[in-house]
Amino acid sequence: MRVRVVSILFLTAVTTLSVPACSTTSHSSTASPSAPVAPTSAWANDEAPLSSAALEPLLLDEDDLGSDYARKNEQPTRYDDVTVLGCPALDELGGMAATGGSLALPHKAKASFTYAGGGSEMFEELYSDSADKLSDRIGRIFDAMTGCLEYQLLTGSTAIDITTQKTAAPQLGDEQWSQLLTFSVGGRTTVVKQTAVRTGAVLLIISGSPALVDRHLGKAHAKMSAPR
């Protein structure tokens, strides 16, 4: 059984996450340290945003991850049936995004993967804009989420209890943010890790199984920041 959970983290503020509700944190035994990080390239520090087309080849793919990973097809996202309870600051950000407000960014690329070893999932997103705008927006969203240690999402007829915990982020790029979210629904829980790294005018966000995020964050950052 899988539950589609709408999480208000990313710069669109309402991004769909697949949460495997039939198990708690998985794939923990196969984690390894993140790959060595390539030196930040000159283009990554350029304030000129990259187009969505330029961001696409910077995403991880099956060749980077290995044969145990399969890319998922993008699913259309609905925002009109989501309500945040118990976190006014987050509700305000979510409402802004759901109505096409100022948190929406045009330059973006996304990919999601399923790990065959345990059904775990990982999501990668890249955004590009001025460094100041990226820093301000992702910082506001993380501050809102980690400032509300417990809250609830109502999506359709499903009530999802969420707790958040700020965690230390690897020292990559120019700025970093990281947190753990515990989703509880129907008596079952799943832990999702979300880590964001800004390098110049590009923001990388990895979310999903904590072990997968830890294992592939360095690789994702190295590919994103490699000289072009």
Q: What percent of the chain has pLDDT above 90?
A: 35
Which residue, among 164, 127, 128, 124, has the nearest Cα to 144 in the 3D structure?
164
Q: Pick the more confident residue, 1 or 77.
A: 77
Say if CB 104 and CB 12 are below 8 A apart. yes
Average pLDDT over residues 94-116: 67
Which residue, among 225, 155, 223, 165, has the nearest Cα to 195 in the 3D structure?
165
pLDDT of 170-225, one tens digit each? 999 999 999 998 888 888 888 889 999 999 999 999 988 899 999 999 999 999 99
What is d(CA 139, CA 220) in angstroms, rounded to the nearest whole number? 20
pLDDT value for 38? 39
Q: Pick the more confident residue, 220 or 5.
A: 220
**Domain enclosing residue 218, as ranges:** 3-225
> CA 82 → CA 73, 167, 181, 199, distances in Å?
23, 26, 18, 31
∠ CA 81-8-194, rounded to 5°: 140
Q: What percent of the chain has pLDDT above 70?
A: 70
∠ CA 156-140-172, rounded to 5°: 110
Say if CB 220 and CB 124 are below 8 A apart. yes
Question: Please, where are the H alpha helices in 86-205?
Answer: 88-98, 131-147
Say if CB 216 and CB 207 are below 8 A apart. no
56: pLDDT strictly greater than 50: yes
pLDDT value for 32? 37
| DSSP letter, residue 49 | P
What's the token pair of residue 27? 């794939």
pLDDT value for 96? 44
Choose the weakest-confidence range: 15-19, 106-110, 111-115, 208-212: 15-19
Number of domains the chain contains: 1
Sequence-distant (≥ 6) Cβ neighbours of residue 9 within 8 angstroms: 15, 141, 142, 145, 194, 205, 207
Average pLDDT over residues 39-59: 74
pLDDT of 84-97, one tens digit each? 888 887 777 764 44
Choose the weakest-confidence range: 48-57, 63-72, 138-147: 138-147
The CATH number of the domain holding residue 38 is: 3.40.1000.70
What is d(CA 7, CA 4) in angstroms, rounded to the nearest whole number? 10
Average pLDDT over residues 59-82: 79
What is d(CA 140, CA 146) in angstroms, rounded to the nearest whole number? 10
> CA 73 → CA 40, 64, 111, 194, distances in Å?
30, 18, 8, 20
Question: Please, where are the H alpha helices in 6-122?
Answer: 42-45, 52-55, 62-65, 88-98
